[in-house]
């Protein structure tokens, strides 16, 4: 068995068979759609929209959302075919193992840490920002800047005093609470998520409906700004305006779509995965795309780009409402509460996805057995949840949100490219396998998915490419140092 040995489809289907010792099948199609929406609507919409508008595209961030949505739709069609055909935990990792071999599967599994674990850290940081806003609304003293920001962030207050971050304690606290909830059980977590999804979708709709009348045409006058370079407060240069600005914005707001693929990590816990997985993946993507474009149009119309670069940088939605939407202070407060709850559900889905990917990798021997040890009562990979609490907690407590957000986007885009390639490869090599859902127009759809996702990676810039390369090099060290020796495929 070489580095590119593949796991047979028959073995994968055997793993998918019901097993008292395995993960419980408790999730319906409705649960899966809610799970997807729960992961998708969160930090990407409420935080990254303003960041992309300020740093990359201005009002044309809406076009960036469309580009990102097209890339996600193309990848989503490929995910849906895989999830209906190979209904087990592991997402793109499992699919790559069946189509491109063990080394590629390892790369994608390691890459998914950027999507789920680092993504959860990004949302934890955003949760911390809005938590401070909520404390202000309640009249309680906010958590000091030093204890709600990373040591790499600084700010000068109105009195001219410089404050440096030390540790983001609120972000660490929410990740701990969600990790403990996940240990308790998948069904309980899905119920918690469903209640939150209804709440935050209602808030998004309210902002669109009430905010539409406060759109200032001046803010949309130059919808696509001319190409230039913008240097942010941290000294980082961004392509602003023009085609590169839109592509950069698409790469940034792409983070807002992360989540629909997390549905596929729960395939082994779906009641009827061949039918329910495509519904969960594509249904959640369609709902969120419509809401996103409308939301971004309203937000960039109500507040200016300069607002997003200065006072409205953190908690931008609440800032826009309080500053420009007279008489809707109650909505700003409600938005803050709903966003906090929404962020919690995103963290939940991200951490669940991460533990399920490593569960599959552990079953295959590529990571230690501890990641597939299930709780004797709750049947959840509780040790894995605790380990990732430590990893995610370190990122959330000590790394700035913009950096981890872009790392998440580039890691996910890379995963999407491999999934698109995998569907094409499997159609050629194993056309006989039954597919309850088939990606249309293969190989055109997978090729377009690869091209669009590749364009967004290009738009994220060389600093993020470098971070991805370093991350993958670390993964190779682990693979050749541990996984090669312990792989069950190689030891058959």
Distance CA 385, CA 355 (A): 6
- Domains along the sequence of the chain with CATH: 9-486 (1.20.1740.10)
Distance CA 408, CA 242 (A): 24
pLDDT of residue 248: 87
What end-to-end distance do the CA atoms of the chain give, in Å? Answer: 9
Distance CA 370, CA 185 (A): 18
- What digits encode the pLDDT tens for the residues 409-446? 788 888 889 889 988 988 888 888 777 778 888 899 99
Q: Provide the 10 A C-beta neighbour count for residue 492.
A: 8
Distance CA 100, CA 13 (A): 17
- Look up tokens 């809406």; give the residue: 62
Q: pLDDT tens track of the chain, all 492 residues?
A: 566 677 776 666 666 555 545 556 666 777 777 777 766 776 567 777 888 898 898 899 999 999 988 888 888 888 878 777 766 655 677 777 877 888 888 888 888 887 788 888 888 988 898 888 888 878 888 898 889 888 888 787 767 788 888 999 999 999 999 998 888 765 656 676 667 777 878 888 999 999 999 999 999 999 999 999 888 766 777 888 898 999 888 888 887 787 666 676 666 667 776 677 777 777 888 888 888 899 999 999 999 988 888 876 656 888 889 899 988 888 888 888 877 887 887 788 788 878 888 888 898 889 999 998 888 887 788 898 899 999 999 989 988 776 766 777 788 888 889 889 988 988 888 888 777 778 888 899 999 999 998 988 888 888 888 888 888 899 999 999 998 888 887 666
- Residue 403 — left, alpha, or beta (φ > 0 → left; ψ -120 to 50 → alpha)? alpha
3 state SS for 377-409: CCCCCHHHHHHHHHHHHHHHHHCCHHHHHHHHH
Identify the burial level of 154 via C-beta atoms within 10 angstroms of its C-beta, where 0-12 means exposed, 13-18 middle and 19 or more buried: middle
- What digits encode the pLDDT tens for the residues 343-380? 887 788 788 878 888 888 898 889 999 998 888 887 78
What is the value of pTM for the model shown?
0.74
Distance CA 411, CA 416 (A): 9
- What digits encode the pLDDT tens for the residues 110-168? 888 877 888 888 889 888 988 888 888 788 888 988 898 888 887 877 677 888 889 99
Q: How far is CA 139 from CA 98, 134, 148, 318, in A?
A: 55, 9, 18, 16
């Amino acid at each position: 068995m070489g580095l590119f040995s593949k796991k047979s489809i028959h073995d994968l289907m055997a793993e998918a068979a019901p097993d008292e010792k395995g993960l419980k099948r408790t999730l319906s199609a409705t649960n899966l759609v809610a799970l997807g929406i729960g992961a998708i609507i969160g930090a990407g919409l409420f935080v990254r929209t303003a960041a992309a508008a300020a740093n990359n595209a201005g009002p044309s961030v809406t076009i960036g959302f469309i580009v990102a949505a097209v890339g996600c739709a193309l990848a989503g069609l490929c995910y849906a075919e895989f999830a209906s055909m190979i209904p087990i935990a592991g997402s793109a990792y499992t699919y790559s193992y069946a189509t491109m071999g063990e080394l590629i599967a390892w790369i994608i599994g390691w890459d998914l840490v950027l999507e789920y674990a680092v993504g959860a850290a990004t949302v934890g940081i955003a949760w911390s920002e809005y938590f401070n806003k909520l404390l202000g609304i309640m009249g309680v003293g906010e958590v000091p800047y030093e204890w709600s920001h990373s040591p790499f962030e600084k700010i000068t207050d109105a009195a001219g005093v410089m404050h440096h971050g030390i540790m983001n304690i609120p972000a660490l606290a929410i990740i701990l609470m969600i990790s403990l909830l996940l240990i308790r059980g998948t069904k309980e977590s899905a119920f918690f998520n469903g209640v939150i999804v209804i709440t935050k979708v209602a808030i998004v709709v309210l902002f669109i409906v009430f905010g539409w009348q406060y759109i200032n045409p001046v803010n949309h006058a130059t919808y696509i700004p001319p190409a230039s370079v913008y240097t942010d407060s941290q000294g980082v240069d961004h392509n602003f305006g023009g085609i590169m600005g839109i592509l950069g914005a698409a790469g940034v707001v792409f983070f807002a779509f992360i989540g629909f693929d997390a549905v596929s990590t729960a395939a082994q816990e779906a009641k009827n995965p061949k039918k329910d997985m495509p519904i969960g993946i594509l249904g959640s993507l369609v709902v969120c795309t419509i809401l996103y474009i409308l939301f971004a149009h309203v937000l960039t119309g109500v507040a200016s780009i300069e607002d997003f670069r200065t006072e409205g940088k953190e908690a931008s939605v609440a800032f826009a409402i309080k500053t420009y939407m007279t008489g809707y202070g109650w909505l700003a407060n409600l938005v803050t509460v709903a966003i906090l709850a929404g962020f919690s559900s995103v963290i939940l889905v991200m951490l669940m996805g991460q533990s399920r990917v490593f569960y599959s990798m552990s079953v295959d021997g590529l990571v230690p057995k501890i990641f597939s040890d299930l709780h004797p009562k709750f049947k959840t990979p509780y040790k894995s949840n605790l380990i990732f609490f430590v990893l995610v907690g370190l990122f959330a407590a000590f790394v700035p949100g913009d950096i981890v957000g872009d790392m998440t986007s580039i890691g996910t885009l890379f995963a999407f490219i491999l999934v698109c390639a995998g569907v094409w490869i499997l159609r050629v090599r194993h056309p006989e396998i039954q597919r309850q859902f088939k990606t249309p127009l293969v190989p055109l759809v997978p090729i377009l998915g690869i091209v669009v996702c590749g364009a967004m990676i290009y738009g994220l810039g060389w600093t993020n490419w470098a971070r991805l390369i370093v991350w993958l090099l670390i993964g190779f060290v682990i693979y050749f140092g541990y996984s090669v020796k312990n792989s069950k495929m190689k030891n058959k």
